[in-house]
Every structure is written in structure tokens, then in C-alpha cells.
Structure 1
Amino acid sequence: MELEKLKIIVEKKFPTFDESEPIVALFNPQQISITKTGWQGQGNSLQPADASASLTVELFFDTSLLKAGKSSIEIGSIIGLDSFGSSRLQDVRKYTRKIYQLTEKKSGLGDPSRPPICKLKWGRNTVLFQGVLKQLTKTFTRFLADGTPVRAKLNCSFEEWIPPEFKQKEQNPIDDPIRIVRRGETLTSIAAEEYNDPALWRVIAAANRLDNPRQITPGQRLTVPPL
């Protein structure tokens, strides 16, 4: 069985994601933690917590390990030659830079004051989490003689993100039409009927905070926000 790598699918233009150019982990993580606060208070004063879920993961990068088990052609693609003809490992920042940039604001998302939403995906159809990269700590642990870093670990903290307009609609649900799911319907077919665009199924999924958009059931009530 082919080894599946953890991928980060980055929002291209709200509400679509660029599945064609994911950020692929150099090595799969050993552990992923997801935290969600469901209730707050004590005893009879418990109230639902209005808190987003968070995911933390440590990603490991080491360009020296890329050489192991590679053919000479493959090795040639990951190392260069200096002026004296000796092999030189790649700067690990080539691999960490794309993740580091996920903390920065990105234009074209409808709201210029936020970074892009990311989907963490491991396996062909398994989305582990969707949110923004809230915090990142990058630690270099191995260097070449000239100071070039070749090993690093990234401690990443992602926070669940829901567009502000959807949060407002959750507080005022009367503003949005409610649709009862009929037998045989999918989010794609509902989006095609409501918006004339099946690709907008993610808008409905986000508005209803669906953990698994592929599993909707007949009789289920869905909020269909206007665009």
C-alpha cells in the first residue's frame, strides 16, 4: 500500500480550496491533538462554550534524510554541487517556508485581514481539521558548517475558523432559510439547486458546521445562507 502523506490544502479564493497544489509534509507526524471545550462554568451553571476547536501538530523536516534509499537520479534532485564538486544538502527552509507563510494575511479572500483557511488532510478522503494557522514555532536543530539549516521542526497550532457572516447568521437563524434534507440529496445537489453552483456546497457545510459533509440524512434541517 502506498504511503499517504499529511497534506495541507490551502484556501485559494473563498470558499474554494486549491486541491491541485497541496503542501505535503516531508515526514508524517507521530501525533496530532485536537482540543474542543464543550461546556464552561460549574455545576448547575454549566453553559455551552462558544469556543473554537484547535489542532496542534509537530512537523519534522530534515533534508539529510531525503538521501536515504534514493536513486542517484532522485538524489540529484535534492542536493546540489558547490564550486568544488562536493555534495551539499538543501536548505530546509525551502520546505518550511510555505507553512510559515500560512500565518500571513492573504488578499482575495473576501476579508483582507485574515490568513487563508487550511484543510489538514491525511488519506484520500479524510479531512482531519479545517481552520487557520494561529501560531507557529520553528526550531532549527542541525546546521551545515556555513550556518545553512538542514533540520527543523515546526510546532503548529491551527484554530477552527468560521466566517464572521456565518457566526452572525448562527446568532440570528431566522434570517436564513431552513431546508429539510430529502432522500437522495447531497450537499452538492442542494448547492446546485439553491445557488445554481454545486461547487458552493462548502458554504452550506460551513454554515451548519458539519463534521462530515458526506453524511447528511433525510429529515435533517440545514441552514442555507444567502450569498
Structure 2
Amino acid sequence: MTLEKATLTPYNGEPGVPVEFMFNPTQLAFARNVKWQSEQGNRGNSALPKVNFSGVDPFKLTLNQLVFDTYETHESVVEKYIKNLKKGVESPDGKNKRPPVYYLQWGQKKTFLCVMLSLSYKLDMFLPDGTPVRALVDISLQEVEKENLPGDRQPNSTGRARQTDGRNARSQRNQGQQPPPSSDPANQSDF
């Protein structure tokens, strides 16, 4: 059996460069919150307020302690790997555009379509000339659906951000309720 590397790849022509993990993650940590709204004043038999279900948040996936090492090649780990990862938390070309949407794929497993919420890294090995050659990276990703990809946010003439992906922002609010998860198999993940 061949070792398959996990990759974080920009989705469908999004700006950015695919990043192949040097060493596969040792664990995938998923978390999802359910939203409940408490109604103050409405109480049941106990002193606790009544709660109403108002939706679910998307899954968050955390990858901790990913190792990137360029000691053997004496290249800068920042130039070879970190620079490309940083594109996930920066506006492309310094403009007021959103960072890319990615998919995480590992071997033949279905993908996890996502945006990067956070990136942190520690440089912990250096060559005698100061070149960083090893980094420990933590990445937090948030699930997105193909039908609801985030749009660019650009300021309008009043200075307020406007959505430029063609969706009507009012229809998305819909009294705080979220649509049910898609049943399209293309949106389903093996992770």
C-alpha cells in the first residue's frame, strides 16, 4: 500500500498554492456547536429558561503539530511551506478580497471543503546562518458548502462592506434560521 499525503488545495481555481503536508496529521479534531436561544422570562418547572433550537454552526477541523522540515535540503521552511500556508489567512495581493476556499484531501477519501480560520506556527530549528528549517504548525479550518461559498466583501460608496457574490444578503438571514445541511453527495465528507 502506498503512503498517501494529505493536501490542502485551493478549490476550483481559487488563488493560492496547494500545500502537501510533509508528514500526515496524527489526528483530526472536529468540533461543532449547536445554537440554542434562551427565552428570558419563560421558565419551565425549574429555574432554567426555556430554550429554542436556532441552528447549527459548521464543523471546525483542527490540525495540530503539523511538522514541516527542510533540514536535509537547507531551504528556508518559511519560503517553501509557511509562505503558501499564510495565503489562507491573508487577502490576495493585499487587496480587500477574501482568502481562498480550500479542500482537504487525504488519499482517496472525500474532501473537506473549508476556509482557514487560523494559522499559527513555531520555528524551532535553524541552520548556523539563521535559516529556519523546521516549523510546527497548527491550522483551524471551518466547513463550507459548495452552494454557500463565501463571497468577496468590498466597501461600497458609504464605506460599508457589500457582498459581491450575487446572493441577496437579506435572504441569508431568514430570521436567524439556517437551511438544513445539503444532501448532495458531493458535499459529504469522509472526515
Q: Same fold (TM over 0.5)?
A: yes
Q: What runs of 5+ residues in structure 1 fail to find an aligned partner?
A: 68-78, 80-88, 173-206, 216-227
Q: Deviations over 1:25-81 (max 9, x none)?
A: 1111111111111242577414133523211102211123xx5xxxxxxxxxxx3xx
C-alpha contact (below 8 Å) 2:32/2:56 kept by paired residues: no
- With normalisation by structure 1, the TM-score equals 0.56
Q: 2:77 aligns with which of 92, 114, 120?
A: 92
Residue 51 of structure 2: aligned partner: 45
Q: What is aligned with 1:142?
A: 125
Of structures 1 and 2, the larger Rg is shown by 1
TM-score, structure 2 length as denominator? 0.65
CA distance in 2, matches of 1:140, 1:101: 18
| Cα deviation digits, residues 144-166 of structure 1 (max 9, x gap) | 11211111011111123433638
The one-letter code matched in structure 1 to 2:99 is P
Helix, strand or coil at the partner of 2:92:
coil
Query: Matches of 1:33 and 1:97 in 2, distance apart?
Result: 24
Distance 1:144 1:55 in 2: 33
Task: Report how many residues are paired.
Answer: 151
Q: Retained in 2: the 8 A contact 1:37–1:49? A: no
Amino acid at match of 2:116: L
Which has the bigger relative contact order, CA under 8 A and spacing at least 6? 2
Deviations 1:138-196 (A, max 9, x none): 11011111211111011111123433638765556xxxxxxxxxxxxxxxxxxxxxxxx
Select the structure that is richer in helix: 1
Distance 1:31 1:139 in 2: 19
Shift of 1:136: 0.7
Q: Percent identity?
A: 29
More strand per residue: 1 or 2? 2
